[in-house]
Amino acid sequence: MKVMAAVKRVVDYNVKVRVKADQSGVETSNVKMSMNPFDEIAVEAATRLKEAGHAREVIAVTCGPAQTTETLRTALAIGADRGVLIQTDAELQPLAVAKLLKAAVEREQPRLVILGKQAIDDDAGQTGQLLAALLDWPQATFASHIEMGADTATVTREVDGGLEVIQVVLPAIVTTDLRLNEPRYVTLPNIMKAKKKPIDTLSPADLGVDPSPRLKTLKVAEPAARKAGVRVSDVAGLVDKLKNEAKVI
C-alpha cells in the first residue's frame, strides 16, 4: 500500500518568533525555516511502515511556495520515496490545505495518510480532522503507537489522563503525537540520495481547488510581558499572597 505523509514548512522551533511591525503576522523573512516537528514524526512513521514491509511507497506532500521544496527534500532524506509540491504563494489555512491534500489523495490513492497533530506556527490542530471529514475516512488522532493489520490500523492515542487504543479500517487518517517515534538523524549520504528522488509540482488549479483564505487575520500581537516574580520566605507568606493578593484561595 501507499502511505502519504503531509509536511509543512514552518519557522524553526529554535527561533524566537517576532511579530511584524505592522502586526499583520510573524516575521518569516531571513528566518530559519524547517519541517514542522510533528511532520518529521509523520515521515519517520511512514518510513518505518515501509521498512517493516507494511507499505510499498511513501509519498511526502507539501503545500506552499517554491522554497517548500527544501522541506520535501528533508522528507526524502528521512526515507520518503517521492515528493509532491502543491505550489502556491497564497496564505494557506487548514481548510484550504485539507482540500488540497484531499485532491492529492484522490490522485495517489494512499491507504494511510499521516499528518502532524498540529503545525507549530498556526497551532491550529485542524488539518487532519478536516481531511478525514472531507474524505469521509476514519481518523486516529494524537497517535503514540501504530500497529498495522491487513485492513486496519490499531492506534494508541494520547488523550487527557491516559492512553486510548482504537482500531480504524483503512483507508484512514492518522495524526502524530510527540511520543510516536524519534525521527532519525538525516545523514549526508541520505541528503545526497534525496536529491535524485522525484518531486512532482502541481498547482491548486491543477487540482481544481481554490485555496483562498476564509478567515481574515485582524491583528497579531506579542503576549503581554510577564511581571517579575517574588520569592516568599515561608509557606505562611505564600498562603497570605494567594489569599490576599492573587485572591485564588
By CB under 6 A, residue 37 contacts ligand AMP: no
If one asks whether residue 119 binds ligand AMP (CB under 6 A), the answer comes out as: yes
Q: According to the binding rule CB under 6 A, does residue 207 interact with ligand AMP?
A: no
Q: Please pick, from the candidates 87, 126, 152, 190, the single residue that binds ligand AMP as defined by CB under 6 A.
A: 126
The least CB distance from residue 17 to ligand AMP, in Å, is: 15
Q: How far is the CB of 82 from ligand AMP (least distance, A)?
A: 15
Adjacency order of strands within the sheet including 139-148: 162-169, 152-159, 139-148, 172-176, 112-116, 2-6, 57-64, 82-87, 199-202
Q: Smallest distance from the beta carbon of 198 to ligand AMP, in angstroms?
A: 18
Ranges within 1-20 binding ligand AMP (CB under 6 A): 6-8
**Is there binding between residue 36 and ligand AMP (CB under 6 A)?**
yes
Does the protein bind ligand AMP through residue 118 (CB under 6 A)? yes
Q: What is the DSSP string of the chain?
A: -EEEEE--EEE-TTS---B-TTSSSB--TT--EEE-HHHHHHHHHHHHHHHTTS-SEEEEEEEESGGGHHHHHHHHHHT-SEEEEEE--S---HHHHHHHHHHHHHHH--SEEEEES--TTT----HHHHHHHHHT--EEEEEEEEEE-SSEEEEEEEETTEEEEEEEESSEEEEE-GGG--PPPPPHHHHHHHTTS-EEEE-TTTTT-----SS------PPPPPPPP---SSHHHHHHHHHHTS---
Q: How far is the CB of 112 from ligand AMP (least distance, A)?
A: 13
- Using CB under 6 A as the binding rule, the residues of this chain from 73 to 92 that contact ligand AMP are 92
Our finding on whether 115 is near ligand AMP (CB under 6 A) is: yes
38 binds ligand AMP (CB under 6 A): yes
Q: From the CB of 150, what's the least distance to ligand AMP, in Å?
A: 26
As measured in angstroms, the least distance from the Cβ of 132 to ligand AMP is 11
Nearer to ligand AMP, 107 or 241 (CB): 107
Rounded distance between C-alpha atoms, residue 122 and residue 132, angstroms: 19
122 near ligand AMP, judged by CB under 6 A = yes
Asked if 218 and 114 count as a contact pair (C-beta separation under 8 A), the reply is no
Contacting residue, 116, 138, 171, 183, with ligand AMP by CB under 6 A: 116
For ligand AMP (CB under 6 A), the number of binding residues is: 23
- Residues engaged in binding ligand AMP (CB under 6 A): 6-8, 36, 38-39, 42, 62-64, 92, 94, 97, 115-116, 118-119, 122, 124-128
